[in-house]
Amino acid sequence: MPNLINEQIHSSVMPTYNRFPITLKKGKGSYVWDQEDQSFLDYTSGIATCNLGHVPPTVKSALEGQLNELWHCSNLYTIPSQEMLAKELTDHTIFDQVFFCNSGAEANEAAIKLARRYAQEIKQTNKYEVVTFNQSFHGRTLATLAATGQAKIQSGFQPLMPGFRYLPYNDKEALKDLVRPETCAVLLELVQGEGGVIPADFSWVQELVRLCKENNVLVMIDEIQTGIGRTGSLFAYEKYQIEPDVISVAKGLGSGFPIGAVLAKDYVAKAFQPGSHGSTFGGNPLATTAGLATIQTMMNTELLTELEAKIAYLWAGLEDLANQSSEILQLRGRGFLIGIEVKGKAIDYVNKARDEHQLLLLAAGESVIRILPPLITTKLEMDLALNKLAAIFVQATS
């Protein structure tokens, strides 16, 4: 395999990504290695995907077993691992039914379809509008980028799919215009990840949900980035003490294996009948085997129990660092979805962390560094990350 960094070769891959100048070849736990065998502490988790770390043993073992049995079969047949994963998800949440797909964008697309069909086929109304929020991110399909409240994501794809309206995030006054006669659902992130790691205010969410329930509008929570333990509980809606009608899930559900899902209450889920939605690869034996092993590992070990202490430890260290550095303007987020707002450009800090300190981080907009540790990270690794961050910010301050 050619060294894609040191050799100038023509790529046949469309240039849709601004790639970092390293090529990763191996991962284990909280670490990845490049082609030169340089190790990096990966505090991106594949953008909140490898929540159990890279190549978790339980998931690896389950996939190896399934690879020897069956890779794919049509959804016209019962898939045992799909049934078992759906039961695990409903047993550990407030939801009753699950639809499986391949990604977060597909999960949000399915949720939008489900909301419209519920309003029109079950409730027998002509409602269709889904309210979302400024700076949100819900995907890159034509429907989900129309749901996304960021002009830069929508640029060049006009005309946008109609049926979406955006409100200011965390703005109680704006909630007065939440529900209109055509509104069938509200879709929101409880922490806006791509939009700058902005957590929703507890009281704002409570009022939003109250208004939705009062007006028979569905509450749909995008848990693509916040789900599967990322905020300290299995899903972020638990932290906000609410009962959504629908949530969308992906990323961490498969420990890096492509899978998405929509979880819904019975009364909403019945809007989907044979022929109303589907997926060739959604819920296939390999994906649901990975998902099942991931959820069982998370729920049958002490991982979630120990997570709160880990979160508190890392946040305390970051707060100490913020008190020492004038470069840090604000810390925000929830759990292991952390944003550091900085004076300069976030990407400059991300590049320095990678190139000089072998620490992988992400940017979330112009001025926010995004930190997404794997949930299995240790105190030793957190200390190492904090020391690397201190070197970066102390150097920038001095």
Checking if the pLDDT of 226 tops 90, the result is yes
Mean pLDDT of 24-47: 97
What's the CATH number of domain 303-397, 3.40.1390.30, 3.40.50.2300, 3.40.50.2000, 3.90.1150.10?
A: 3.90.1150.10
Helix, strand, coil percent values for the chain (each to nearest 5): 40, 20, 40
Question: Contact, 111 vs 127, CB < 8 A?
Answer: no
User: pLDDT, tens digit, for every residue of 282-339?
Assistant: 999 999 999 999 999 999 999 999 999 999 999 999 999 999 999 999 999 999 999 9
Q: Do 57-299 and 303-397 fold alike per CATH? A: no
Q: 10: pLDDT confidence band, cut at 50, 70 and 90?
A: confident
Domain boundaries, the chain: 57-299, 303-397
The number of residues in the chain equals 398
Q: Does domain 57-299 have CATH number 1.10.287.130?
A: no
Torsion sign (Cα): 336, 337, 340, 344: positive
User: pLDDT, tens digit, for every residue of 166-181?
Assistant: 999 999 999 999 999 9
* pLDDT in the model for residue 9: 63
Give the pairing of strands 337-342 and 328-334: antiparallel
Checking if the pLDDT of 129 tops 50, the result is yes
Residues 118 and 121: their CA atoms lie apart, in Å, by 6
